[in-house]
């Protein structure tokens, strides 16, 4: 990841070969420390792990923030949990994320298979690269798998987006969140409810850092480009839909009813529906023919910029995604979340999000209210300001200084 390391003050690349200093052991790196104006500088090796679509927009600003400071070298590992061009590559391109140093290419599988594959392929890489700190993001299988590996190898772990809880252990992501937070050494929270949840679970206060929302860092940076970016065939008013949670798409009967409700909503306003690969598969398996839903426009999964452009102009967003609840709150766009709970309560309490549960009557009613102009005016939660990643680097820098 040559673009990643700072090249300003001193070497992040080996002399002669030009290779980035990423595979050296900690003691080797320490030996490379140089006296500069009587100040001893250490190069700290940060290894980032990403795997699935929602990780990419969280890691991008953190990688950038570390590369803007001196004293760090970085390695980026992609587990390959998401592998399609439109679920992965296009995000790297648009968000300016450097090419990963390693791709574990685990692909799809059951939760156990996918997690186990990541664990067994990631361990040798950590042993070889010997990072000083591993940063994991969000709540996907790649997050927990990497955290488990590092905890056994006694490699310090930072969890970006720590502390979120839906209190619903039927969600695979909730298990991933709890386990990752249990083993992490630095817990970077996006909102104060995260701090409270961690304290309630007995995590020491000194490990918790309320830094704000890194996903909003990416949104703030990309917003000017998104304003210039819009496909010409999009209607003036529309509802934007995304669904991929097992609770919505794995149960055929529920999925069928949900689709019929969307079709009804679509009689009042055109619906744009970028379909996640998991959802496409389930619709196909359930024999649900998209041609039968004339008021719904089914689309391929969108790139970051295309989707942000669609979100910011939508009259309403209907979703079960975690990140979209946050992005709509920042944008002030009404969001209807088809879930019984949310690990992001701040989006309901002070943002523009409405939780309608598995209640299709409430879904219709809430969309109707929003479209008739009766909606709450949300505000942006504290520290969702575009600078969360910089605060993470500050914390890491300070803690490194403390350990010297
Ligand atoms: C994962 C995350 C979820 C996140 C979502 C965003 C976990 C437990 N879940 O769910 O939190 O909100 O990503 O997208 O980690 N597939 C493809 N191409 C791809 C990726 C997936 O076709 O590039 C298909 C495969 O058939 C796969 C299915 O989608 O079986 C589900 O993918 P998987 O990564 O297992 O979980 P997601 O549902 O995407």
DSSP secondary structure letters along 339-377? SS--S-THHHHTSSEEE-TT-HHHHHHHHHHHHTT----
- Closest CA relative to residue 235, chosen from 296, 283, 293: 296
Q: What's the rounded mean pLDDT across residues 17-26?
A: 38
- Closest CA relative to residue 297, chosen from 256, 325, 339, 269: 269
DSSP string, 50-85: E-SHHHHHHHHHHHHHHHTSSSEEEEEEE--SS-SI
Q: Answer yes or no: is pLDDT of 282 > 80.
A: yes
- Taking CA atoms only, the protein residue closest to ligand 1 atom 21 is 82
CA of 336 to the centre of ligand 1 (A): 22
- Taking CA atoms only, the protein residue closest to ligand 1 atom 16 is 277
What is the rounded CA–CA span in Å between residue 168 and residue 185? Answer: 24
CA of 52 to the centre of ligand 1 (A): 7
What is the rounded CA–CA span in Å between residue 348 and residue 346? Answer: 5
Which range (16-20, 117-121, 123-127, 369-373) has the least confidence? 16-20
Candidate from 49, 50, 52 with most ligand 1 atoms within 8 A of CB, to mutate: 52
| Ligand 1 atom nearest to CA at 88 | 23
- Taking CA atoms only, the protein residue closest to ligand 1 atom 11 is 140
For position 35, what pLDDT does the model report? Answer: 46
> What is the pTM assigned to this prediction?
0.91
| Ligand 1 atom nearest to CA at 114 | 35
| Ligand 1 atom nearest to CA at 246 | 38
CA of 82 to the centre of ligand 1 (A): 6
CA of 141 to the centre of ligand 1 (A): 9
DSSP class of residue 106 equals: -
Q: What is the pLDDT of residues 291-337, one digit of tens each?
A: 889 899 999 999 999 999 999 999 999 999 999 999 999 999 999 99
Contact 239, 316 (CB under 8 A): yes
CA of 140 to the centre of ligand 1 (A): 9
Residue 317, C-beta contacts closer than 8 angstroms, at least 6 positions apart: 239, 240, 241, 242, 311, 324, 328, 333, 334, 335, 336
CA of 62 to the centre of ligand 1 (A): 23
| Ligand 1 atom nearest to CA at 139 | 11
- Taking CA atoms only, the protein residue closest to ligand 1 atom 14 is 53
Q: What is the pLDDT of residues 217-273, one digit of tens each?
A: 999 999 999 999 877 789 999 999 999 999 999 999 999 999 999 999 999 999 999
Q: Answer yes or no: is pLDDT of 14 > 50.
A: no
Lining residues, ligand 1, CB within 6 Å: 52-54, 81-84, 87, 108, 139-141, 172-173, 244, 276-278, 281
If pLDDT is split at 50, 70 and 90, which confidence band does 21 have?
very low
- Taking CA atoms only, the protein residue closest to ligand 1 atom 22 is 277
What is the rounded CA–CA span in Å between residue 279 and residue 282? Answer: 5
Q: Answer yes or no: is pLDDT of 97 > 90.
A: yes
- Catalytic machinery residues: 244
What is the rounded CA–CA span in Å between residue 84 and residue 104? Answer: 14
Q: Which residues of 4-43 are buried (b: 16+ CB within 10 A; e: fewer)?
A: bbbeeeeebeeeeeeebbbbbeeeebeebeeeeeeeeebb
What is the rounded CA–CA span in Å between residue 232 and residue 234? Answer: 6
Q: Answer yes or no: is pLDDT of 17 > 80.
A: no
If pLDDT is split at 50, 70 and 90, which confidence band does 25 have?
very low
| Average pLDDT over all residues of the chain | 90
Determine how β-strand 186-189 pairs with β-strand 133-137.
unpaired
Helix, strand, or coil (residue 297): strand
Q: Which residues of 214-248 are buried (b: 16+ CB within 10 A; e: fewer)?
A: bbbbbbbbbeeebeebeeeebeeebbbbbbbbebb
Q: What's the rounded mean pLDDT across residues 192-214?
A: 98
Helices then strands, counting H and E runs in the chain, come out as 16, 15
CA of 94 to the centre of ligand 1 (A): 20
- Closest CA relative to residue 6, chosen from 401, 387, 393: 393
Candidate from 86, 278, 303 with most ligand 1 atoms within 8 A of CB, to mutate: 278
Q: Answer yes or no: is pLDDT of 9 > 90.
A: no
What residue ranges define each of the domains in the chain, with the CATH number in brackets?
26-213+385-403 (3.40.50.2000), 224-371 (3.40.50.2000)
If pLDDT is split at 50, 70 and 90, which confidence band does 374 have?
confident
Candidate from 277, 326, 327 with most ligand 1 atoms within 8 A of CB, to mutate: 277
DSSP element (H, E) containing 137 = strand 133-137
């Amino acid at each position: 990841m040559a673009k990643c390391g700072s090249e300003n003050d001193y070497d992040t690349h080996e002399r002669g070969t030009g290779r980035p200093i990423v595979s050296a052991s900690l003691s080797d790196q320490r030996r490379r420390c140089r006296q500069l104006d009587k100040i001893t500088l250490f190069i700290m090796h940060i290894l980032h792990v990403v795997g699935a679509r929602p990780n990419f927009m969280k890691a991008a600003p953190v990688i950038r923030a570390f590369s803007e400071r001196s004293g760090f070298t970085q390695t980026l590992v992609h587990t390959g949990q998401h592998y399609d061009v439109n679920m992965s590559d296009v995000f790297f391109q648009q968000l300016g994320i450097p090419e990963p140093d390693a791709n574990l290419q685990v692909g799809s599988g059951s939760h156990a298979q996918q997690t186990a594959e990541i664990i067994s392929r990631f361990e040798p890489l950590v042993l070889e690269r010997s990072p000083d700190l591993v940063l994991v993001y969000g709540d996907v299988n790649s997050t927990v798998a990497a955290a488990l590996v590092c905890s056994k190898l006694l490699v310090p772990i930072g969890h970006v987006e720590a502390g979120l809880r839906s209190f619903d252990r039927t969600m695979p992501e909730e298990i991933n969140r709890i386990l990752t937070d249990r083993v992490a050494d630095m817990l970077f929270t996006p909102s104060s409810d995260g701090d409270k949840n961690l304290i309630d679970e007995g995590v020491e206060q000194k490990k918790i850092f309320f830094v704000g929302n890194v996903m909003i860092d990416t949104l703030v940076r990309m917003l000017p480009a998104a304003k210039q970016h819009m496909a010409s065939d999009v209607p003036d008013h529309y509802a934007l839909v995304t669904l991929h949670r097992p609770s919505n798409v794995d149960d055929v009967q529920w999925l069928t009813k949900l689709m019929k409700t969307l079709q009804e909503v679509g009689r009042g306003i055109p619906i744009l529906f970028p379909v996640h690969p998991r959802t496409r598969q389930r619709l196909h398996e359930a024999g649900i023919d998209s041609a039968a839903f004339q008021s719904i426009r089914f689309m391929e999964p969108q790139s970051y910029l295309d989707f942000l452009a669609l979100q910011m102009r939508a009259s309403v967003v209907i979703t079960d995604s975690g990140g979209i609840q946050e992005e709509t709150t920042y944008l002030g766009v009404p969001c209807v979340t088809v879930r019984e709970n949310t690990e992001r309560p701040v989006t309901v309490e002070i943002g523009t999000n409405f939780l309608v549960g598995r209640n299709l009557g409430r879904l219709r009613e809430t969309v109707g209210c929003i479209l008739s102009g009766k909606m709450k005016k949300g505000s942006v939660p504290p520290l969702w300001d575009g600078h969360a990643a910089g605060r993470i680097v500050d914390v890491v820098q300070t803690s490194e200084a403390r350990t010297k």
